Amino acid sequence: MVSLNKLGKNQALKVGEALKSQKIDFIYSSDLQRTKETVQQIINHHKDVPVIYDPLLRERCLGKLEGLPREKFYEARGKADVPHHLFRPEGGESMADVLKRVEQFLKMLYSKHADDETILICTHGGWKRMILALATGKPISDEEVRLYPFKNTSVTVIETKQGRLKLIKLNDTKHLK
């Protein structure tokens, strides 16, 4: 269980403040500790909004490489004879696996919610890169998608209409200034 550090707690507080006047009908969040702590700062201003914690929103699982220095991941990926987006560490997930989770989650959202509802999703960078690929029509193998530098507590707005995604705002961090 990884909790937010002092900087992360401050960023969560600021995003909660930034979103306090926004219409939010439902909140979906990763069930990992950092996102739960971030969501708490948001629901301080949206006490009546239902919060659903869903493992589909988790960050990519790195299996046996989880918690090790990044260099170990890059070393293992470099030794694998597959494209980077298909590399699956032992016991972990590939980017393509995460994309399937994103698609599964979106199907569930479309079946449960109307286009006019505002859904806040609190998740992780790798997950956001996959939805960015879907919203822009770029393949997950695209360097721009794979390496997109999402900032912690950044706000990205994606509009959906009849199952189509439209990117409205990307990686907004003005609340952190």
Q: Where are the domains of the chain?
A: 6-56+95-176
**Best CA proximity match to 155, nearest among 31, 48, 17, 54:** 17
Q: Is the pLDDT of residue 21 over 90?
A: yes
- Range 151-165 average pLDDT: 92
HSE-up of residue 29 (Cα within 13 Å, Cβ side) = 21
How does residue 30 score in pLDDT terms, banded at 50, 70 and 90?
A: very high
The C-alpha atoms of residue 136 and residue 169 are separated, in whole angstroms, by 12
pLDDT at 112: 95
Q: Is the pLDDT of residue 1 over 80?
A: no
How does residue 2 score in pLDDT terms, banded at 50, 70 and 90?
A: confident
pLDDT at 22: 96
> Do residues 69 and 39 touch, judged by C-beta distance below 8 A?
no
pLDDT at 37: 98
How does residue 161 score in pLDDT terms, banded at 50, 70 and 90?
A: confident
Other beta carbons within 10 Å of 133: 23
- Range 133-162 average pLDDT: 93
Identify the bridge partners of residue 46 per DSSP, sorted by sequence position: none
**pLDDT digits over 89-140, tens only?**
999 999 999 999 999 999 999 999 998 999 999 999 999 999 999 999 999 9
Average pLDDT, the chain: 96
Tell me the two tokens of residue 122. Answer: 């609190």
- Range 46-73 average pLDDT: 97
Q: Which CATH superfamily is domain 6-56+95-176 in?
A: Phosphoglycerate mutase-like (3.40.50.1240)
pLDDT at 165: 93
How does residue 65 score in pLDDT terms, banded at 50, 70 and 90?
A: very high
Kindly report the backbone phi and psi dihedral angles of residue 146, in degrees, each rounded to the nearest multiple of 5, phi listed first. Answer: -60, -35
pTM for the predicted model, two decimal places: 0.94
> Do residues 139 and 133 touch, judged by C-beta distance below 8 A?
yes
The C-alpha atoms of residue 10 and residue 38 are separated, in whole angstroms, by 10
